[in-house]
Amino acid sequence: MKQVAILGSTGSIGKTALRVIENLKNDFNPIALSCNRDVEQLAKQALRFHPKVVVLVNKENLPLLQEKLRGTGIDILTGQEGLNKIAEMENVDIVLNGIMGSAGFSPTLAALRKGKRVALANKETLVSYGNIVMDEALKNHTEIIPVDSEHSAIFQCLERRRKTKVKKIILTSSGGPFRNRKNLSNVTIEETINHPVWRMGRKISVDSATMMNKALEIIEAHFLFDLPKEKISVVIHPQCIIHSAVEFLDGSIIAQLSNPDMALPIQYALTYPDRKPSLVKQLDLQEIGTITFESADPSRFPALSLGYRAIEKGGTTTAVFNSSNEFLVQAFLNKKIPLDSIVKITKNIIEKHSPIEYPTIIEIEKAEEWAKMEAANYIKDF
């Protein structure tokens, strides 16, 4: 039985991961769970799955968690240090990172340094720290298995195939809730987080609405698969049945298809290279009938151009891209800026930034802080 640490167990990825583990019965054990502040949900999970350790990042509600878990023998850790500790626990085999934002980097690095497999749903880790993370995985002879549905699809299509034979990878996108809407200046938060296919957290739902999520995925694919931006393309596919594809030099295209359900890429990241029966409803092509594709026109989806531009400028630019977007998404959710300003402001910050090539962790962190200050200055104008 493999021991799993689930970072962000109370979020959508974490909850699905626990469902997957229950379905796989005696193959995996959630030995450690963590959340930011949802004490009620974390306590329920702990009482159900009996992990050895839980982590509460935000210490504010620690007394309540201690009360709920009194007498269980479950250890309670706190803060970022707690996340790092469970990521590098000696008896942990797999670290499933479902944390949102840059906070996911530190435990990912800790896990890789201890030779753990990382099932990575935290795209920001690769966007901001791509070279550092991939170098660490290589140095410690360990694996990063993507959990994003698109990158999981590409990973599956590339399996045992030589990367030198790849003409391009094709990231698919639903187009988000505003695929056919041009003016985004007055959309509401409720409209924005109501994705037509996927049920996700608020931050990633906003990213999907602006298409910044796909721009982040372009950067993630660049680092994860070591491909230049010229070999990364995007196509709009509203049905979300083809999760991504790879085109090879001979003209063949290999795609991964399934019903849109995160249980599948999560399970694949846990069981790789094996495959087992899953919770996902079997895909019936006759029932689907028709699948369609549309051009990912940069004039309709300007965020996509920012992903390519961040790769082009290189160095700390991708971290600046990610940090700006994180800050601005929160500003939108706090009703401080309109949705369409996120892409516009991020573009200005990227162009203003003077990148540092081959940055250290400290230099990346400084670049992220600079981006947040720049974004804060722009918000003052609203």
Instruction: For 107-134, write each residue's pLDDT tens digit.
Output: 999 999 999 999 999 988 999 999 999 9
Instruction: For 76-85, write each residue's pLDDT tens digit.
Output: 999 999 999 9
Instruction: For 129-187, write each residue's pLDDT tens digit.
Output: 999 999 999 999 999 999 999 999 999 999 877 778 999 999 999 988 878 777 777 88
Per the listing, tokens 């083809």 go with 242
- Dihedral sign computed on CA atoms, order 191, 175, 278, 137: negative
Q: DSSP of 32-90, one letter per residue?
A: EEEESS-HHHHHHHHHHH--SEEEESSGGGHHHHHHHTTTS--EEEEHHHHHHHHHT-T
Stretch 331-354: mean pLDDT = 96
| pLDDT score at 198 | 66
CA dist., res. 144 & res. 290, Å (int): 34
Instruction: For 265-292, write each residue's pLDDT tens digit.
Output: 999 999 999 999 999 999 999 999 999 9
Task: Evaluate if residue 204 carries a pLDDT over 70.
Answer: yes
| pLDDT score at 261 | 94
Question: What is the band of 377 on the pLDDT scale with cuts at 50, 70, 90?
Answer: very high
- Which segments of 211-257 does DSSP mark as H helices, in order? 212-224
Q: Where, residue-wise, is CATH 3.40.50.720 in the chain?
A: 2-146
| pLDDT score at 165 | 92
Instruction: For 68-106, write each residue's pLDDT tens digit.
Output: 999 999 999 999 999 999 999 999 999 999 998 888 999
CA dist., res. 65 & res. 38, Å (int): 10
Return the H-helix or E-strand segment holding 306. Answer: helix 303-313
Task: Evaluate if residue 382 carries a pLDDT over 90.
Answer: no
Burial class (CB in 10 A: 0-12, 13-18, 19+), 336: middle
Instruction: For 355-367, write each residue's pLDDT tens digit.
Output: 999 999 999 999 9
Q: Please state, for a pLDDT cut of 70, what percent of the chain lies above it.
A: 99
- Check: CB of residue 90 under 8 Å from CB of residue 1: no
Q: How far out from the chain centre does Cα 135 lie? A: 19
CA dist., res. 292 & res. 18, Å (int): 33
Q: What share of the chain is helix, strand, coil (3-state, %, to 5)?
A: 50, 15, 35
CA dist., res. 198 & res. 214, Å (int): 14
| pLDDT score at 381 | 73
One-letter identity of residue 195: H
Q: What is the CATH number of domain 2-146?
A: 3.40.50.720
- Check: CB of residue 238 under 8 Å from CB of residue 176: no
Mean pLDDT of the chain: 94
Task: Evaluate if residue 56 carries a pLDDT over 70.
Answer: yes
Q: Is 172 helix (H, G, I), strand (E, B) or coil?
A: strand
Instruction: For 223-251, write each residue's pLDDT tens digit.
Output: 999 999 999 999 999 999 999 999 999 99
CA dist., res. 243 & res. 197, Å (int): 12
Q: Where, residue-wise, is CATH 1.10.1740.10 in the chain?
A: 151-260+285-379
Assigned architecture for domain 151-260+285-379: Orthogonal Bundle (1.10)
